[in-house]
Amino acid sequence: MRKSKPTKADRIGPRRDILAADVLDKAATLFAARGFAATSLQDVADLVGLSRTSIYHYFDSKDALLQELVRGVTTQAAQIFDDLDRETALAPSAKVREAARRLVLWVSDPHTHFKLVDRSELELPSAIAAVHRQAKRRVLAGMSKLIEAGIASGEFRALDARIAAFTIIGMCNWTAWWFQPTGEKTAKEIADAIAEQAVASLQRPSGATGATDVKSLTNAIRAELDLIDSVHGMKRTKP
């Protein structure tokens, strides 16, 4: 089959973006089937229906293609927290809810290739893996910061913000592995439900704010103090 050659219109503007996205989708298919190391740019070009030279109009190397796939997953997920950090009018609980909702929508979109990168991150070249790890740390730090703000404001109970952040991020990410676009619920409905559960897992128990008898108040305060002692004890033991 004769390989098509990109026109000038294919190399710039919206048409270029569409073709570049098609290259990424086809590359992701091959990477999932063969692994990163066993897939060449020529393999990608063959599947897209372009010559290898034409592929260079979109990505100048396989590493550049891989880097774009990774950027489309973790780096853009990290951007969610950068955007929410600027939303000064939102309460911490609202930010956690929105962060979880956006994360679920992001990982459940097949065009982000989250499952591929998540499953194959150990195969990434070292430079790209470093970018991936840095972006993952940004996601964890962003969620931890939102939870810490909620604890400080009294919206959330005293807990280890980092462990809570890991838990919520894991819950959101796992959606990518079980969500079915043709299922009973839409991605938006699932995202909204998980976001509510994320916030509910952090909120202070009703007894801490609604109790009126001395015994209930004492038990609620004691539980909070135990959690605070536990968190500070963990911090003191960190190297």
| Tens digit of each residue's pLDDT (9 = 90 or more) over 20-46 | 788 888 888 888 777 778 888 889 888
pLDDT at 126: 86
Give the residue from 204, 198, 231, 209 showing the smallest Cα distance to 95: 198
Res 15 pLDDT > 60: no
Pick the more confident residue, 228 or 108.
108
**Each residue's pLDDT tens digit, 154-193:** 899 889 999 999 999 999 999 989 999 898 999 999 999 9
Check if the beta carbon of residue 150 is closer than 8 Å to that of residue 156.
Answer: yes
**32: CB partners within 8 A, 6+ apart:** 115, 116, 119, 120
Tell the burial category of 238 from Cβ atoms under 10 Å away from its Cβ (0-12, 13-18, 19+).
Answer: exposed
Residue type for position 228: I
CA distances from 111 to 27, 131, 235 (A): 12, 20, 39
Mean pLDDT of the chain, nearest integer: 81
Identify the sign of the CA torsion 164, 119, 121, 96: negative
